[in-house]
Each structure stands twice: as C-alpha cells, then as structure tokens.
Structure 1
Amino acid sequence: MELHCDNKSAIDIAHNPVQHDRTKHVEVDRHFIKEKIKKKIIRLPFLKSEDQLADILTKAVCGRVFHDSLTKLDIGDIYAPT
C-alpha cells in the first residue's frame, strides 16, 4: 500500500530508527508506521503538495491548484448551464 505524503520530515521520522525528543507526541503512531514499513506493508512515497488532492478540503490553496484538483477529481462547475 502506498501512503502518499507531502511532508518530507514525516517521511524521515517514519524511516529513522532513532527517536528524538521532538517526536514524543507521535510515538505510538510512529512505531506503528515504522513496523509496517519494515514489513514492507506500506511505502511512503513523496508527493508534491500541489498534487495532494486532499489539500483542497483541508487548507487554502491558490485558484490554479484548486481548479486542477477539481479536474483530477472529475468535479465539474456546478454553476455551469446544463
């Protein structure tokens, strides 16, 4: 399974066997993901932020990214005449 991620720090933390003080709040999740990566159940490929489709649902994006994402999701203009 591929878990696409646009955060290089999160990918590095998941692959890093050394726990840092900065990651204490994600300790359980990190160990779970680390175990799945080690067993090759999941992969964490990097995905550019503008290609992350979920971003239009969770954060403000520029108009170009918004319209490109709508096209990729096959969502048309709801105000266009039918």
Structure 2
Amino acid sequence: MCLALPSLVTELLDGDQAKVDLGGVTKAVSLALVDGVAVGDYVIVHVGYALTKVDPAEAEKTLALWAEMQETGALT
C-alpha cells in the first residue's frame, strides 16, 4: 500500500529539483514528471518524485483531515 500526502513546494532548486515541506519535514524531490511547478504549489510526492500538482484548497483539506486523524489516535 502506498500513501502520499500533499507537500508544499518551498524552494525551486537546480536540475528539476525542489525542496518540499510536509509537516515540518523537508526534502529535495524531482520535478521531472510535473510541469509548471512554482513555490507555494502543493504536489503529491512518491519515492522522491513529484507526481502531480494538487489544488491548494484540496491539499489543505487533506492535511487537516490527516492532522485530525493523528490527534484522535486513528493513525498508529
């Protein structure tokens, strides 16, 4: 099973790379598979590659639900 959450693009790097943030965890990922990504966009990341951009409102809803699940202990 694979789970991917929206990650916020915080910095564009050289060579089709970007720095993303997911709940305080930052990581460099490849943008080779997605066109037109800018700082402030949300992307779905899997094994180091951004797969698609995500609508900001949908990303915020998903992240809020994830945080709620963590708070209630639904995730272990």
TM-score, normalised via structure 1 length: 0.26
Q: Which has the higher contact order (CA 8 A, sep 6+)?
A: 1
Structure number with the higher helix fraction is 1
- Flag the structure with larger Rg: 1
TM-score, normalised via structure 2 length: 0.27
Structure number with the higher strand fraction is 2
